Chains A and B, each alone.
Chain A
Amino acid sequence: MQDKRYWSPYIAGAVLGATLLATFYIAGRGLGASGALTLVTAKGTFTIIPEFIGRLKYFAQYTTPRALINWNLFLLIGVFLGSLASAKFTGNFKVLLDRGKSMTVRTRLLSSLTGGMLIGFASRLARGCTSGVALSGSAQLALGGWIFVISMFAAGFILSAVLRRLWS
């Protein structure tokens, strides 16, 4: 059952794999997403409340004057532009609050925020997310990548059994 709005997942996966291989070969590093989001958060909050943010040891690496000249940030800008162009050209762009069939608007606002907080926190603890650790790490056969992938799917499956109704 091929979803007509999208490509075959194997074609999309092959383009993803080829892109990852190109970054390994040319840049000597993998893909990533959460690091740039942390950088933007640290820089942004540092501009608003410098005294408080300046005291946070973990954010020190992100608040230096030239911190925004960052490979991962430029990569993420590309991700945004690439997916925006893709959604626009294929007629998939639509402004909406996407939610599960039985989800109220209030539940969706809360689930987006709390779920987002969890993945933001977890990404820092694991030193990366699905892109940086799970995808790039696993492709390198890095132990950490496989630990993350297995742990993530296991937790997701266990929780989905408990919160059956959320996305059904």
Chain B
Amino acid sequence: MTGPFEVSQAVSLGLAVVFGLFFGLSLERGGLGNPHKLTGVFYLRDFTVPKVMFTGIVVACVGLYLLSDLHLLDMERVFIIPTFFWPQLAGGALFGVGFFISGYCPGTAVVGMASGRLDALLTLVGVGAGSLLFAVLFPYLEGFYLSSDMGAATLPPLAGVNHWVIIVPLVALAGGMFFAMEKYEKKESAR
């Protein structure tokens, strides 16, 4: 059967809750509701964030392109995250600053709150306030927000190569990074 599937709104929303359950489970069990683990990477102390994140990216990436190659998934009907170069570069940097200061990102703050952390709840209040601030300032930001629109730009066509030419080195790079992190953590804990 070729995905994605057309379902009724009720089924679609029900499935969204199920996906969310697994999403929340993986984040909590990975330790990503804990701000000490979330910020550990910036101190080269705890590499949980890159380990969970890049394992997730690699698994989903390989699976996505494999399903597409096997004609089990119609990639044309998958919503590709749009690229707006400068807003995402600036937004990413600002996000990194907020991530380090609060010790959370939006999803992990929900997980932190669900595990009883009041600081996570307060971070979520901040996220709401930040969204409101963005909406208030939107008339001044709109020009920048809509700039450098590259649409559904993905790396393989941009580089002019088959997707596996990107994916195979990416998997190798992630593997090498995990290996280096394990070695570093072992060395640090032995000290």
Residues of A at the B interface (CB closer than 8 Å) are 1, 3, 5-7, 9-31, 33-34, 37-38, 40-42, 44-45, 56-59, 69, 71-72, 74-87, 90, 92-100, 108-109, 111-157, 159-160, 163, 166-168
Contact = CB atoms under 8 A, between A and B. Distances in A.
A83 B110 contact: yes
A137 B85 CA distance: 13
Interface in B18-35: 18-35
Given A109-B122, A120-B126, A137-B81, A125 B30 contact: no
Contacts of B153: 142-144
B56 interface: yes
Contact of A120 (B27, B42, B128, B150): B128
B126 A112 contact: yes
Contacts of B77: 28
B129 A120 contact: yes
Contacts of B63: 17-18, 21, 24-25
A120 B131 contact: yes
B135 A56 contact: yes
**SS class of chain B's interface: helix, strand, loop or mixed?**
helix
Given A38-B131, A140-B154, A116 B92 contact: no
Interface of B: 3-5, 9, 12-37, 39-43, 47-48, 51-61, 63-65, 67, 72-73, 77-85, 87-120, 122-136, 138-139, 141, 145, 150, 152-156, 158, 163, 166-167, 178, 185-186, 189
A126 B89 CA distance: 8
B117 A98 contact: yes
23 contacts: A13-B52, A16-B26, A18-B22, A21-B63, A28-B3, A59-B135, A76-B110, A82-B23, A111-B101, A115-B126, A121-B130, A122-B93, A123-B131, A124-B131, A130-B106, A134-B92, A139-B56, A141-B65, A143-B154, A148-B92, A150-B92, A152-B92, A156-B99
Contacts of A116: 98, 102, 104, 109, 122-127, 129-130
Nearest to B74: A28
A151 B102 contact: no
B188 to A, nearest CB: 8
Contacts of A23: 19
Nearest to A74: B16
Classify the secondary structure of A's interface with B.
Answer: helix
B128 A37 contact: yes
B145 to A, nearest CB: 7
Contact of B42 (A26, A113, A146, A167): A167
Given A16-B52, A135-B57, A160 B93 contact: no
A57 B138 contact: yes
Contacts of B17: 74-75, 77-78, 81
B154 A119 contact: no
A145 B61 CA distance: 12
B118 A123 contact: no
A150 B89 CA distance: 8
B4 to A, nearest CB: 3
Contact of B80 (A25, A78, A100, A140): A140
A42 B135 contact: yes
A98 B180 CA distance: 30
